[in-house]
């Protein structure tokens, strides 16, 4: 194993971390604010990819502007789903929340099978990333770097939104004290719709930008949602930076785990998740609960 090889493995890990981050960050945001564990989150990731595929017909030439449309469609879908379904279970026991989002997972799986077919969908490298780059003399798909850049840009935008806009301040506030916000006259139900839509939009964006590297079929959602849970639990439910940190950690563990023990590379991430839950149940960068309930 030479140094350039290890470096490329590191970059591959970073690319899957980028995809994992976009998949998981919305889940974390939604859990932090609404307290909902969204089992359908992986389905919205897959749907984002399907939207892009349907718009481009699998042809990468119009990738960038169709990407915007796919994200817009995910945002709208997220808002509608929150208004129609999620809102009704916000104050219910968590097994109802889980069953409702699981029902959405099942419905989305079959509806997308009906609309798009059950076969794997993929798309070529988007404009600007057709040629590989040479890293220390080894060709490397330049889109891996593009994906990392896109995820970094999304993280930065999200940070600006949360920390530099008034509405972002409200989003952070609602994760801490919903009743106080209501008392201050903030339209919390609308805020929840926006947060859910943004979370789903991020998942759809993640699915769409991952499509050139990872072909998608309806069955992917089942695995994707579990990956998202792991990332979010390791990073800390509700913590954006924790999600980023744990996505990088898990992306790299999977990349290098596949080198060391290919048979058990997925088990490594579960071991990490269990270890974190045992020693820091609130996650690496999450807030420890003030009172154990």
Count of residues binding another protein (CB under 8 A)? Answer: 42
- The answer to the question of residue 293 lying near another protein (CB under 8 A) is yes
Identify which range of 16-24, 69-77, 93-101, 196-204 contacts another protein by CB under 8 A. Answer: 93-101
If the CB atoms of residues 141 and 251 are measured against another protein, the closer one turns out to be: 251
- The answer to whether residues 60 and 123 touch, using CB atoms and an 8 Å cutoff, is yes
- The answer to the question of residue 180 lying near another protein (CB under 8 A) is no
Beta bridge pairs of residue 121: 216
Identify which range of 15-23, 192-200, 246-254, 269-277 contacts another protein by CB under 8 A. Answer: 269-277
If the CB atoms of residues 113 and 172 are measured against another protein, the closer one turns out to be: 113
3-state secondary structure of 197: helix
Going by C-alpha positions, the residue among 199, 202, 194 that lies closest to residue 19 is 202
Residue with tokens 């903030």: 186
Q: Exposed, middle or buried: residue 278 (CB in 10 Å: 0-12, 13-18, 19+)?
A: exposed
If the CB atoms of residues 206 and 236 are measured against another protein, the closer one turns out to be: 236
Alpha carbons within 13 A on the beta-carbon side of 226: 9
Distance (Å, whole) CA 37 – CA 253? 25
Give the contacts of 217 (CB within 8 A, at least 6 positions apart).
118, 119, 120, 121
In the stretch 107-146, what mask flags binding to another protein with x, by CB under 8 A?
x-xxx-xx--------------------------------
If the CB atoms of residues 50 and 143 are measured against another protein, the closer one turns out to be: 50
Identify which range of 46-54, 97-105, 133-141, 196-204 contacts another protein by CB under 8 A. Answer: 97-105
- The answer to the question of residue 271 lying near another protein (CB under 8 A) is yes
Q: At 267, list the tokens.
A: 């088990």
Which helix (DSSP H) or strand (DSSP E) does residue 114 occupy? helix 94-116
Please state at what angle helix 166-176 crosses helix 3-34, rounded to 10 degrees. 70
Shortest Å distance, C-beta 77 to another protein: 16
Shortest Å distance, C-beta 138 to another protein: 28
Give the binding site for another protein (CB under 8 A).
37, 85, 88-89, 92, 94-96, 98-100, 102-107, 109-111, 113-114, 222, 226, 229-230, 233, 237, 263-264, 266-267, 270-271, 273-274, 277-278, 281-282, 292-293
């Amino acid at each position: 194993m030479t140094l350039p090889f290890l470096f490329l493995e590191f970059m591959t890990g970073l690319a899957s971390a980028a995809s994992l981050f976009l998949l998981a960050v919305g889940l974390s945001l939604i859990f932090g604010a609404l307290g909902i564990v969204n089992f359908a989150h992986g389905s919205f990731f897959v749907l984002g990819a399907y939207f892009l595929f349907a718009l481009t017909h699998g042809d990468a030439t119009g990738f960038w502007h169709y990407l915007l449309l796919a994200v817009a469609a995910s945002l709208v879908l997220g808002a509608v789903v929150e208004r129609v379904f999620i809102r009704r279970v916000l104050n219910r026991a968590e097994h109802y929340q889980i069953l409702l989002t699981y029902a959405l997972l099942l419905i989305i799986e079959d509806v997308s099978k009906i609309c798009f077919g059950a076969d794997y969908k993929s798309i070529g490298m988007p404009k600007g990333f057709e040629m590989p780059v040479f890293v220390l003399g080894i060709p490397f798909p330049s889109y891996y770097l593009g994906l990392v850049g896109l995820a970094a840009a999304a993280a930065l935008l999200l940070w600006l939104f949360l920390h530099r806009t008034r509405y972002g301040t409200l989003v952070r506030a609602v994760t801490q004290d919903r009743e106080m916000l209501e008392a201050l006259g903030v339209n919390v139900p609308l805020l929840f719709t926006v947060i859910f839509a943004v979370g789903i939009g991020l998942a759809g964006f993640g699915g769409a930008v991952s499509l050139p590297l990872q072909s998608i079929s309806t069955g992917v959602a089942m695995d994707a949602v579990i990956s998202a849970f792991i990332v979010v639990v390791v990073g800390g439910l509700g913590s954006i930076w924790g999600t980023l940190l744990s996505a990088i950690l898990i992306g790299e563990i999977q990349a290098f785990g596949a080198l060391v023990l290919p048979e058990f590379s997925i088990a490594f991430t579960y071991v990490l998740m269990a270890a974190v839950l045992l020693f820091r149940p609130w996650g690496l960068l999450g807030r420890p609960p003030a009172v154990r309930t």
